[in-house]
Amino acid sequence: MGARILVAEDDPKQAQRLRLYLEREGHTVLLAHDGRSALDQARQKQPDLVVLDVMMPRVDGLDVCRVLRAESSVPIIMVTARASEDDLLLGLDLGADDYITKPYSPRELVARVRVALRRGGARADSDEGPYRVGAVEVDPARHEVRVAGRAMDCTAAEFKVLACLMAEPGRVFTRQQLLDRAFGFDHYALERTVDAHVKNLRRKLERDPGRPAYLLTVYGVGYKFAEPSEIGAATENDAS
| Number of neighbours of residue 93 by Cβ within 10 angstroms | 18
| Distance (Å, whole) CA 114 – CA 106 | 12
| Distance (Å, whole) CA 45 – CA 6 | 9
185 belongs to a structural domain = yes
Q: Residue 86 is part of a domain; what is its CATH number?
A: 3.40.50.2300
| Distance (Å, whole) CA 91 – CA 79 | 10
181 belongs to a structural domain = yes
Q: How many structural domains does the chain have? A: 2
* Structural domain boundaries enclosing 182: 131-239
Q: Residue 188 is part of a domain; what is its CATH number?
A: 1.10.10.10
DSSP, residue by residue, 137-151: EEETTTTEEEETTEE
9 and 84 assigned to the same domain: yes
26 and 107 assigned to the same domain: yes
This prediction's pTM: 0.63
Cβ–Cβ < 8 Å for 6, 32: yes
126 belongs to a structural domain = no
106 and 189 assigned to the same domain: no
Q: What is the pLDDT along the chain (240 residues), one digit of tens a residue?
A: 589 999 999 999 999 999 999 999 999 999 999 999 999 999 999 999 999 999 889 999 999 998 998 888 888 999 888 766 666 677 777 878 888 888 888 888 998 898 888 766 544 443 466 899 989 999 988 888 999 999 998 877 888 899 999 999 999 999 888 887 776 655 455 677 788 889 989 999 999 999 999 999 999 899 999 998 887 644 444 433
